[in-house]
C-alpha cells in the first residue's frame, strides 16, 4: 500500500494536462478547491439547459432558452458606439432578432452571411414587443450543429472561468476516467439499480433533464454513497484499530450498583436501563469500549455514567470523569456525591486549582487506589497524575472531542474503556458522520418527575409586563435566568446589552437580587457570580450565553431569552433545559423583536410545540444544513462534494453498516472487494485511512 494505485494516476495529474486549461485557469480553479482532474469529476453540474432543437420559436414561453434553425436576414449595425447590432432571422414560422453589443460588424458578417442557414441557441426574450436573442450561446452552420448537446450541464464557476472551459475540462477528464473494480456491496447495487462508478460519473455529468440533478437520481445517489462509504471506512478503520488495542476486562458483581438503585426515589427509564446494559457488556469484553452516550437535556445521563463508573470500581479498578471546566467538574461532583454515599465509594475532585500539599495528597491517594472515582478537568491527564488501576474514562463532551483527540487518548497508553457523553441531540446522520467510529447509546426518554416546561412567545414591546411578572416570582422566592443575545461580533456591544439589562432589572428588583455573567469577565468573577446564584444569594442571573453549559440550579424555574429569534434552535433548546430541573413548574419566555423572519418564526413555534431534542435537531438540520449546525470549522465534519447529509441521511447509515461489514469479513482489505475499497480510499483522498491500513 506504498502509494497511489497506478490506475488513478490520470485523475491526479496536473490540471494543465486537460484540454483547454492553461496555468492561469488552473490557478483560478484551485480557488474553488479543484486541484486535480479528480476534483472536476466530483464537481457535478447544479443545473441543466435544455437545448433540444425546435422548428420555431413561435409559442415559446419566454424568457426561455431555445435552439432553432434560422435563415439569416438583414444586418443592422449599431447607430452609435456601444449600441445594439441587430441581425434579422426567420425560422419555419416566425421571425426575431439576434442582438449584439460592442459588435465587430466584419466578424458577424463572416459568421452570419445573409441568406445562409444557421442553428442558433440562446436566451429568447421579449423586448418592446419584439422577440430577440442577445448574444446567442451557439451559432453554427447546420452541418456542425450536432456539437450542441441536447442537454447542457451548468457548473459552479469561479471568476475568469467560463462554462465552456469547464465543460471542456470535464469532458477531457471523463475521457480518461478509468473503469474501476466494484467496491460497493453487490446487493446494494442490485436493490437500488445503481450504475457502476464509471457509468455514474459519465451520467452525472450528462443530465437529461432536471430529474437527473436530484440527490436521489441513480448516478448521484451512487456517487454520494461512494463518498460516504470512503468516510465511514476511515472511521471503521480507526475503530478497528482502537479495538485491536487491548482493553481491560471489567466485570462487576452488581453489589455497588444495587445499593445506588435501591436508594433512588424512582426507577430508571427503559432507555437508561438499556444504556447501562450496553455499557456493562462492553466493559466486560477484552476490546476497548468506545461508546457515545447521547441524551437530551435532563434525560438522566449522570446516573448512567455513574453506573458505568461503579462497574469499574466493582471490578477492582478506578474511574475518571472529565468535564471541560472547573464549574462543571464541581457540578458533576455534587451530582455524584449522594449516590456515591449510598454505594460507599470515594469520589474526589481534581482541577487546575489544586496546588501544593493538597494536590500531592490527592495524587498519593489516587496512586494507592484510595480514591475510587476522580472527577476533574483535563488536568487529570497531566504527567504526574497516576492511577492505581484506571478502567474507565467518562468524557463530558462539551468541548468537541473529535476522532483525533480520541486517538490521542488511546496513545496515552490508557487502555481504559471510554464513554463520551453529549447533551446535544444530534440527528442520526450527523451522529454517524461525526462519531461513526463509536458505538452509540441513546437516552430518548425523560425520567419520571421531570415536569414539562411551559414555553411562551412574547414581543419585546411587552418588556415591562415581563419584568413585573418577574418581580412577583422573585417575591415568592423563585429564581430566574435572563439571557441577553450576543448581538454582533464585537463583544463590547454584548457587554453593553447585558449591563443595560442588569441595571434596569436591579433598579426594579432591588440591590443584591440580580447577578451578572458575561464573556468579558475574569474567570474568578464568573465563578463567583454563578456560585452566588447557585446558592440562592442572587435570584436573577443576567447572562450572555455562557450559561448554556451544564449549570444545575434546581430552584431556577424561569428562563427569559431576549431576541430569541436570532438564536439557533439547538442553542435555544439547551438554554431552556437549564430550568425545569426541580419540583416546581417552570416557564420559558422567548422574547422576539418584530418583524421576525420566516425562519425565526418557525424556530420559536417549534420550541413552543415540543421539548423533544431529537425532533428539534432533525428540524434544525433541515432548516440550516449540516455545516452550520455544528459550525463546520471546528466540527470535525468532513466536507462532502456530492453527498447531502440533509437529504441523504439514510445513505449514511447504509454506508456505515457496509463499511463495518466489509472490515469484519476482510480486516486488512486484501480480498478483491477489499482491494477495490483501497482504490476508493485513494480516489477520495482519505489519507488518514490509508495511513491506518499501511501501518496496521
DSSP string, 193-262: TPPPHHHHHHHHTS-SSGGGGSTTSHHHHHHHHHHHHHHHHHHHHHHHHHHHSB-------SHHHHHHHH
* 53-148, CATH topology level: OB fold (Dihydrolipoamide Acetyltransferase, E2P) (2.40.50)
Query: In whole angstroms, what separates CA 1 from the centre of its chain?
Result: 32
- Provide the sign of the torsion angle of the four alpha carbons 318, 323, 329, 335, taken in this order: negative
Q: Is 609 exposed, middle or buried (0-12, 13-18, 19+ CB in 10 A)?
A: exposed
- Provide the sign of the torsion angle of the four alpha carbons 26, 29, 34, 37, taken in this order: negative
The 10 Å Cβ neighbour count of residue 487 is 16
Distant-in-sequence, close-in-space partners of 187: CB < 8 Å, separation ≥ 6? none
Q: Do domains 255-443 and 453-610 have the same CATH topology?
A: yes
Instruction: Tell me if residue 6 falls in helix, strand or coil.
Output: helix
pLDDT of 595 reads 86
Cα(356)–Cα(373) distance, rounded to whole angstroms?
21
Residues with pLDDT less than 70, the chain: 1-2, 242-246, 297-298, 383, 397-414, 427-437, 447-449, 486-495, 545-551, 621-638, 646, 694-696
64: which strand partners?
124
Cα(497)–Cα(591) distance, rounded to whole angstroms?
15
DSSP symbol at 324: S
pLDDT of 548 reads 47
Contact 372, 318 (CB under 8 A): yes
Of 282, 283, 301, 303, the residue nearest 293 (C-alpha): 301
Contact 114, 74 (CB under 8 A): yes
Q: What angle do CA 666, 670, 671 make, to 5 degrees?
A: 75
Each domain of the chain, given as residue ranges in start order, spans 53-148, 255-443, 453-610
Provide the phi-psi class of 359: left if phi over 0, else alpha when psi is between -120 and 50, else beta. alpha
Instruction: Tell me if residue 24 falls in helix, strand or coil.
Output: helix
pLDDT of 256 reads 93
Rounded (10°) angle between helices 687-695 and 218-244: 40
Contact 584, 490 (CB under 8 A): no
pLDDT of 646 reads 67
Q: Is the CATH code 2.40.50.140 the one for domain 255-443?
A: no
Phi, psi of 406 (to 5 degrees): -65, -35
pLDDT of 695 reads 52
Cα(484)–Cα(409) distance, rounded to whole angstroms?
37
Cα(94)–Cα(55) distance, rounded to whole angstroms?
10
Contact 158, 32 (CB under 8 A): yes
The 10 Å Cβ neighbour count of residue 471 is 15
489: which strand partners?
none
Q: What is the bridge-based pairing of β-strands 64-76 and 84-90? A: antiparallel
Q: 460 to each of 200, 300, 455, 466, 604, how far by Cα in Å?
A: 54, 35, 16, 9, 14
Contact 63, 124 (CB under 8 A): yes
453-610 is classed in which CATH architecture?
Answer: 3-Layer(aba) Sandwich (3.40)
Query: In whole angstroms, what separates CA 454 from the centre of its chain?
Result: 29
pLDDT of 630 reads 40
Cα(44)–Cα(354) distance, rounded to whole angstroms?
56
520: which strand partners?
none
Of 165, 109, 91, 92, the residue nearest 100 (C-alpha): 109
Contact 375, 336 (CB under 8 A): yes
Strand 540-543: give its sheet, edge to edge: 453-459, 586-592, 556-561, 479-483, 540-543, 514-517
Instruction: Tell me if residue 644 falls in helix, strand or coil.
Output: coil
Distant-in-sequence, close-in-space partners of 314: CB < 8 Å, separation ≥ 6? 251, 252, 253, 254, 255, 256, 257
Cα(105)–Cα(84) distance, rounded to whole angstroms?
11
Residues 495-522 as b/e (b if ≥16 CB within 10 A, e otherwise) read bebbeebbeebbeebeeeebbbbbeebe
pLDDT of 202 reads 96
Cα(61)–Cα(67) distance, rounded to whole angstroms?
13
400: which strand partners?
none
Beta-strand (E) ranges in 506-624? 514-517, 540-543, 556-561, 586-592
- Provide the sign of the torsion angle of the four alpha carbons 495, 501, 506, 507, taken in this order: positive
Amino acid at each position: 500500500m506504498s502509494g497511489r494505485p497506478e490506475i488513478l494516476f490520470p485523475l491526479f495529474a496536473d490540471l494543465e494536462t486537460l484540454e483547454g486549461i492553461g496555468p492561469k485557469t488552473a490557478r483560478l480553479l484551485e480557488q474553488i478547491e479543484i486541484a486535480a482532474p479528480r476534483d472536476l469529476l466530483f464537481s457535478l453540474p447544479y443545473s441543466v439547459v435544455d437545448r433540444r432543437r425546435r422548428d420555431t420559436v413561435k409559442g415559446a414561453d419566454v424568457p426561455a432558452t431555445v435552439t432553432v434553425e434560422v435563415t439569416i436576414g438583414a444586418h443592422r449595425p449599431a447607430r452609435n458606439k456601444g449600441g445594439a447590432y441587430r441581425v434579422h432571422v426567420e425560422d419555419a414560422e416566425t421571425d426575431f432578432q439576434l442582438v449584439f453589443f460592442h459588435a465587430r460588424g466584419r466578424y458577424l458578417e463572416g459568421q452570419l452571411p445573409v441568406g445562409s442557414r444557421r442553428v442558433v441557441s440562446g436566451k429568447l426574450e421579449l423586448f418592446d414587443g419584439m422577440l430577440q436573442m442577445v448574444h446567442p450561446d451557439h451559432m453554427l452552420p447546420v452541418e456542425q450543429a450536432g456539437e450542441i448537446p441536447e442537454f447542457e450541464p451548468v457548473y459552479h464557476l469561479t471568476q475568469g472561468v467560463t462554462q465552456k472551459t469547464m465543460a471542456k475540462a470535464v469532458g477531457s477528464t471523463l475521457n480518461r476516467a478509468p473503469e474501476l473494480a466494484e467496491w460497493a456491496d453487490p446487493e446494494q447495487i442490485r436493490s437500488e439499480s445503481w450504475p457502476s462508478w464509471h457509468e455514474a460519473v459519465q451520467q452525472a455529468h450528462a443530465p437529461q433533464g432536471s430529474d437527473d440533478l436530484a440527490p436521489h437520481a441513480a448516478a448521484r445517489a451512487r456517487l454520494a454513497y461512494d463518498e460516504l462509504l470512503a468516510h465511514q471506512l476511515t472511521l471503521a478503520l480507526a475503530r478497528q484499530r482502537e479495538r485491536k488495542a487491548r482493553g481491560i476486562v471489567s466485570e462487576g458483581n452488581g453489589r455497588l450498583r444495587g445499593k445506588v438503585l435501591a436508594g433512588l426515589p424512582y426507577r430508571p427509564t427503559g432507555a437508561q436501563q438499556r444504556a447501562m446494559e450496553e455499557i456493562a457488556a462492553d466493559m466486560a469484553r477484552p476490546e476497548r469500549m468506545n461508546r457515545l452516550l447521547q441524551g437530551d437535556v435532563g434525560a438522566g445521563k449522570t446516573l448512567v455514567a455513574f453506573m458505568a463508573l461503579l462497574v469499574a470500581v466493582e471490578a477492582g479498578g478506578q474511574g475518571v470523569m472529565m468535564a471541560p471546566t472547573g464549574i462543571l467538574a464541581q457540578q458533576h461532583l455534587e451530582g455524584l456525591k449522594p449516590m456515591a454515599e449510598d454505594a460507599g465509594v470515594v469520589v474526589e475532585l481534581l482541577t487546575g486549582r489544586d496546588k501544593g500539599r493538597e494536590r500531592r495528597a490527592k495524587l498519593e491517594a489516587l496512586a494507592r487506589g484510595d480514591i475510587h472515582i476522580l472527577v476533574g478537568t483535563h488536568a487529570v491527564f497531566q504527567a504526574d497524575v497516576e492511577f492505581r488501576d484506571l478502567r474507565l474514562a467518562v468524557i463530558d463532551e462539551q468541548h468537541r472531542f473529535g476522532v483525533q483527540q480520541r486517538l490521542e487518548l488511546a496513545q496515552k497508553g490508557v487502555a481504559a474503556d471510554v464513554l463520551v457523553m453529549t447533551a446535544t441531540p444530534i440527528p442520526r446522520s450527523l451522529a454517524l458522520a461525526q462519531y461513526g467510529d463509536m458505538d452509540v447509546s441513546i437516552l430518548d426518554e425523560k425520567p419520571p418527575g421531570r415536569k414539562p416546561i411551559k414555553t411562551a412567545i412574547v414581543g419585546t414591546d411587552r418588556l415591562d409586563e415581563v419584568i413585573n411578572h418577574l418581580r412577583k416570582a422573585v417575591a415568592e422566592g423563585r429564581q430566574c435566568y435572563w439571557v441577553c443575545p450576543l448581538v454582533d461580533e464585537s463583544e463590547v456591544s454584548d457587554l453593553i446589552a447585558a449591563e443595560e439589562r442588569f441595571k434596569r432589572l436591579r433598579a426594579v428588583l432591588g440591590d443584591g437580587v440580580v447577578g451578572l455573567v458575561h464573556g468579558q469577565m475574569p474567570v474568578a468573577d464568573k465563578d463567583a457570580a454563578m456560585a452566588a446564584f447557585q446558592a440562592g444569594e442572587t435570584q436573577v442571573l443576567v447572562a450572555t450565553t455562557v450559561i448554556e453549559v451544564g449549570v444545575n440550579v434546581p430552584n431556577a424555574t424561569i428562563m427569559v431569552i431576549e431576541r430569541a429569534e436570532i438564536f439557533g434552535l439547538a442553542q435555544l433548546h439547551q438554554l431552556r433545559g437549564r430550568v425545569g430541573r426541580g419540583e416546581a413548574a417552570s416557564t420559558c419566555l422567548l422574547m422576539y423583536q418584530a418583524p421576525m423572519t420566516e425562519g425565526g418564526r418557525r424556530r420559536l413555534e417549534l420550541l413552543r410545540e415540543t421539548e423533544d431534542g431529537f425532533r428539534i435537531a432533525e428540524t434544525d438540520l433541515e432548516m440550516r444544513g449540516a455545516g452550520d449546525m455544528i459550525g463546520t470549522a471546528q466540527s470535525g465534519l468532513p466536507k462532502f462534494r456530492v453527498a447531502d447529509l440533509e437529504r441523504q441521511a439514510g445513505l449514511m447509515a447504509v454506508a456505515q453498516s457496509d463499511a463495518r461489514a466489509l472490515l469484519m469479513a476482510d480486516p486488512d482489505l486484501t480480498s478483491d472487494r477489499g482491494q477495490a475499497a483501497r482504490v476508493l480510499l485513494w480516489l477520495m483522498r482519505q489519507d488518514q485511512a490509508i495511513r491506518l491500513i499501511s501501518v496496521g
